[in-house]
Amino acid sequence: MTTEGEHLPAPDDERKEMGELIGRLSGTEDLDKATRGRMLARLARLLSSQARRAGVKGMGGGRWLSEVFADVAPRIPVRDLETLRRHHPGLTSEALAEELTRTAVNATTAVGAAGGALAAVQFTAPPLLLTAPAQIVAETLVVAAIETKLIAELHEAYGIQIQGGPAQRAMAHITAWAKQRGVNPLESGSLSMGLGSAAKAALRKRLLRTLGRHMTTLGPFLTGAVAGGTLNRAATRKLAEKVREDLARYGGVKGLDHGPRKPPVLPPPGPPPAD
């Protein structure tokens, strides 16, 4: 018999829907603000249901959160180099990396604004305030998925191939996200199908840090939306720069010529434009 605090898997239909929602929210689909908000709210409800199964003890230390993310990671839509070239014809590796960075920054900004707006609504309605954490968890997982997708596609853009099947590559990508670094191709041969204890600890730590950042969006009126968008924009931009520096160096080890490095041209911080 399962005791309270032991992680319980969600029913297959719930787990599938969570994966689909996170996949759409982290993908290239052009979602309007209202649709994105509804999808985040639905994801929050599913996460609340799963959290109740995990129990109070299961929520401690970020273990449950990291298990949920590891479960959905293989469902994050990642484009290979051929697809990226088809979607962005004629771009050099650096130009492609800049475009991927710009897209990811815009995506996490939009998710932060939508999540912050939801949190702001709950702040103004005290009886519903207890639902806010689930919304923040939903935003955290979607932002983590967007940034993991960015890391995976940056590796493709720089010609850094990670060996193994889809599940193995997904674990490598979320480990790279947890460490905020690129994957060294000279060390990738040691990757396994699962996460080691050090990688699990790094993932829990990174998810909790991201969750803590999103908790600052709990404010009245539109302050949550502005804060959520701005904080996500800065964090995703910083992550992209760190990973791109690693991959440019690893590409040099492999003898790849990516052309001159140019700083990414990104829009200035600020509230997202109105629909």
Band of residue 11 on the pLDDT scale cut at 50, 70, 90? low
Instruction: Take residue 34 and report the two structure tokens written for it.
Output: 């209202």
User: In this structure, is the dihedral angle defined by the CA atoms of residues 171, 174, 178 and 181, taken in order, positive or negative?
Assistant: positive
Q: What is the pLDDT of residue 187?
A: 75
Whole-model pTM: value is 0.79
The secondary structure of 186-241 as a DSSP string is: TTGGG--SS--HHHHHHHHHHHHHHHHHHHTT--STTHHHHHHHHHHHHHHHHHHH
pLDDT tens sequence across 205-241: 999 888 877 776 555 444 444 455 678 889 999 999 9
pLDDT tens sequence across 14-23: 888 999 999 9
Q: What is the pLDDT of residue 193?
A: 56
Residue 3 has pLDDT above 60, yes or no: no
| Cβ proximity of 158 and 81 under 8 Å | no
Q: What is the pLDDT of residue 192?
A: 53
pLDDT tens sequence across 170-198: 999 999 999 999 998 877 554 555 678 88
Mean pLDDT to the nearest integer, 5-14: 58
Q: What is the pLDDT of residue 267?
A: 44
pLDDT tens sequence across 108-155: 988 876 554 444 444 333 333 334 478 888 889 999 999 999 999 999
Which range (83-87, 95-99, 238-242, 250-254) has the least confidence?
Answer: 250-254
Buried b (16+ CB within 10 A) or exposed e, 159-171: bbebeeeeebbbb
- Listed residue (243, 235, 245) closest to 266, CA to CA: 235
